[in-house]
Amino acid sequence: MVELGRFFFKWRNALFPVLVFALYLLVRPATQARWLDLLAIALVIVGVLIRATVIGYVLVLRDGDNKVSHADELFTKGMFGICRNPLYLGNITTYIGIFLLHGAWPVLLLGAGLFVFIYYAIIFSEESFLRGKFGQSFADYCARVPRLMPMLGNWSAATKDMTFSFKRAIWVEYNVMTQAILMVALALWYKSWAVSGSATMPMVSIVLLVAGVAFIGTIRVLKARARNNAAK
């Protein structure tokens, strides 16, 4: 599992979109109750918000060092005080939402199961690294804080004397936010085409695509201006 986790961590940015695409093509999308579609979109939003909350409290090196697990310090505050892997919790929640949006239960069950397995493999590989680097400190942390199930009752203690940076949450996570918007837009378009046979893009997909492009474009312009001002 540790070696498998290292593999998935290294190649996840290229592999995960392919897996989602393949699972979407595996079974024809199905219509479902409107509240299930809304629940799916809500899960995507919750997943993104979880990630943004993590970064808003603590700036984390998300890609490791040259695609290998790396940490200069052991984070135990902020979202890491209620769950040891809050970023992965956010990712899993988002992917479950995307698979639920498909509408076919085999895709939801297979997709959710596959991505939970993958993230657990990544978590095991990271825990092996952290255990070797931080020793008893990491063992004590594991004893206090659950791996994935958030311990919400510990929120006040975990965020005590910390300041949430909304700007940093957006500045760092805007790519993830945009990807989520585009995934939902394309999923709804594909589902509409598969069910109705019409290739016409639904209005909701058009709105989401425009919003996603506008959002990422705006953030990149603002970041470029900030860099230019800082260089003057």
Instruction: Kindly tell me if the per-residue pLDDT of 6 is higher than 80.
Output: yes
95: confidence class by pLDDT, cuts 50, 70, 90: very high
More confident residue, 47 or 224: 47
Please name which of 82, 60, 83, 65 lies closest in space to residue 6, comparing C-alpha atoms.
Answer: 65
232: its two tokens: 């003057």
Residue 83: inside a domain: yes
**Dihedral, CA of residue 96, residue 100, residue 104 and residue 105, to nearest 10:** 60
pLDDT of residue 200: 84
Please check whether residue 54 is in contact with residue 32, taking contact to mean a CB–CB distance below 8 angstroms. no
pLDDT in tens, 184-222: 999 999 998 988 887 788 899 999 999 999 999 999 999
Average model confidence (pLDDT) across the chain: 90
Answer yes or no: is 26 within a domain: yes
What's the pLDDT tens digit per position in 141-171?
A: 999 999 999 999 899 999 998 999 999 999 9
Q: Is the pLDDT of residue 226 over 60?
A: yes
Is 117 among the domain residues?
A: yes
Residue 44 domain flag:
yes
Q: Annotate 155-173 with b (16+ C-beta within 10 A) or e (fewer).
A: eeebbeeeeeeeeebbebb
The sign of the torsion formed by the CA atoms of 77, 81, 84, 88 equals negative
Identity of the amino acid at 77:
K
Is 103:32 a contact under the CB 8 Å cutoff?
Answer: yes
Is residue 212 one of the residues assigned to a domain? Answer: no
Round to whole Å and give the CA distance between 110 and 159: 36
CATH of the domain at 97: 1.20.120.1630
* Length, in residues, of the chain: 232
Cα–Cα distance measured from residue 109 to residue 102, given in angstroms and rounded to the nearest whole number: 11
pLDDT tens profile 47-89: 999 999 999 999 886 565 545 555 678 888 999 999 999 999 9
Structurally, how many domains does the chain consist of?
1
User: What does the pLDDT look like over 97-153, one tens digit per residue?
Assistant: 999 999 999 999 999 999 999 999 999 999 998 988 889 999 999 999 999 999 998
Q: Is residue 73 part of a domain?
A: yes
pLDDT for the residue 227:
85
Q: Is 207 helix (H, G, I), strand (E, B) or coil?
A: helix
Residue 36 has pLDDT above 80, yes or no: yes
Examine residue 156 and state whether it is found in any structural domain, yes or no: yes
The answer as to whether 192 is a domain residue is: no
Residue 23: which of 126, 88, 151, 109 has the closest Cα? 109
**What is the domain extent for residue 10?**
2-164
